[in-house]
């Protein structure tokens, strides 16, 4: 009985200590990510917002340390959640001044993960809170939920494949809140009531937008000038 109580206590203690500081885990994840100084990735992007009808488009994604990030469509028009896409794994962790707290464990896509709350120390930071779901064995972030001051809450889900040793995902899904969209018919010069037919799935996730990027290849650490990030 005493033995059992001791084990329990030590478990609680361990948990308690971990709850107070997950910085070492985050640092490890960060170290893995920081192997990549820059990359150019090729992939496809799908915008899934209830009031947007857009086809899948080819994109090129550019990244350079510490926080230069850009999604470019070759000559096309891209629709992205406001301010959302510039938030990527690297930029989330670019800042060193944060408090990392454990918030238990969770299962993401059938994989057990450690939930870490990341609180920026800087009070003026755009990001208020980030919750990371980290697979401890591989040091990969499977999910990140970020609350911002201006642009609401974003959710990123990542799936890894060929580039997981660099911490680079094969697939990223951004979820974000959207506002209602409606234009008077007088402006669009339409006569007929023309609401876009909603699928059942859309009705459920109404007002929730998604941007899905599927990366097919990365070119890593080949050197990038800052010029490519200028608009």
CB of 3 to other proteins, least distance (A): 54
Q: By three-state DSSP, how is residue 26 classified?
A: helix
Q: How many CB atoms lie within 10 A of CB 38?
A: 17
Distance from C-alpha of 201 to C-alpha of 205, rounded to nearest angstrom: 6
Q: Is 179 in the site for other proteins (CB under 8 A)?
A: yes
Structural contact between residues 58 and 74, judged by C-beta atoms closer than 8 angstroms: yes
Q: Which of 91, 138, 178, 214 binds other proteins (CB under 8 A)?
A: 178
CB of 105 to other proteins, least distance (A): 30
Place of tokens 């930071």: 125
Q: Is 185 in the site for other proteins (CB under 8 A)?
A: yes
Distance from C-alpha of 135 to C-alpha of 143, rounded to nearest angstrom: 10
Q: Which of 186, 225, 226, 230 binds other proteins (CB under 8 A)?
A: 186
Q: Is 49 in the site for other proteins (CB under 8 A)?
A: yes
CB of 22 to other proteins, least distance (A): 32
At 163, list the tokens.
């580039």
Q: Which of 9, 149, 196, 206 binds other proteins (CB under 8 A)?
A: 196
Structural contact between residues 99 and 121, judged by C-beta atoms closer than 8 angstroms: yes
Q: Is 203 in the site for other proteins (CB under 8 A)?
A: no
Site for other proteins in 75-94 (CB under 8 A): 75-83, 85
Q: How many CB atoms lie within 10 A of CB 106?
A: 14
* Residue ranges in contact with other proteins by CB under 8 A: 46-57, 73, 75-83, 85, 176-179, 181-192, 194-196, 199, 201-202, 209
């Amino acid at each position: 009985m005493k033995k059992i109580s001791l084990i329990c206590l030590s478990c609680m203690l361990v948990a308690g200590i971990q709850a107070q500081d997950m910085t070492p885990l985050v640092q490890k994840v960060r170290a893995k990510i920081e192997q990549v100084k820059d990359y150019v990735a090729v992939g496809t992007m799908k915008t899934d917002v209830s009031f947007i009808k857009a086809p899948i488009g080819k994109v090129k994604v550019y990244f350079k340390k510490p926080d230069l990030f850009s999604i470019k469509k070759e000559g096309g028009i891209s629709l992205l959640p406001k301010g959302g896409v510039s938030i990527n794994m690297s930029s989330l962790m670019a800042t060193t001044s944060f408090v990392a707290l454990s918030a238990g464990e969770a299962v993401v896509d059938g994989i057990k993960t450690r939930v870490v709350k990341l609180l920026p120390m800087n009070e003026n930071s755009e990001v208020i809170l980030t919750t990371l779901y980290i697979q401890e064995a591989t040091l990969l972030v499977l999910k990140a939920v970020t609350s911002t001051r201006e642009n609401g809450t974003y959710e990123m889900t990542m799936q890894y494949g060929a580039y997981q040793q660099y911490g680079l995902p094969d697939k990223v899904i951004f979820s974000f809140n959207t506002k209602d969209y409606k234009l008077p018919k007088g402006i669009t010069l339409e006569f007929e009531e023309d609401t876009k037919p909603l699928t059942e799935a859309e009705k459920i996730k109404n007002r929730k937008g998604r941007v899905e990027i599927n990366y097919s290849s990365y070119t890593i650490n080949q050197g990038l000038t800052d010029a490519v990030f200028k608009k």
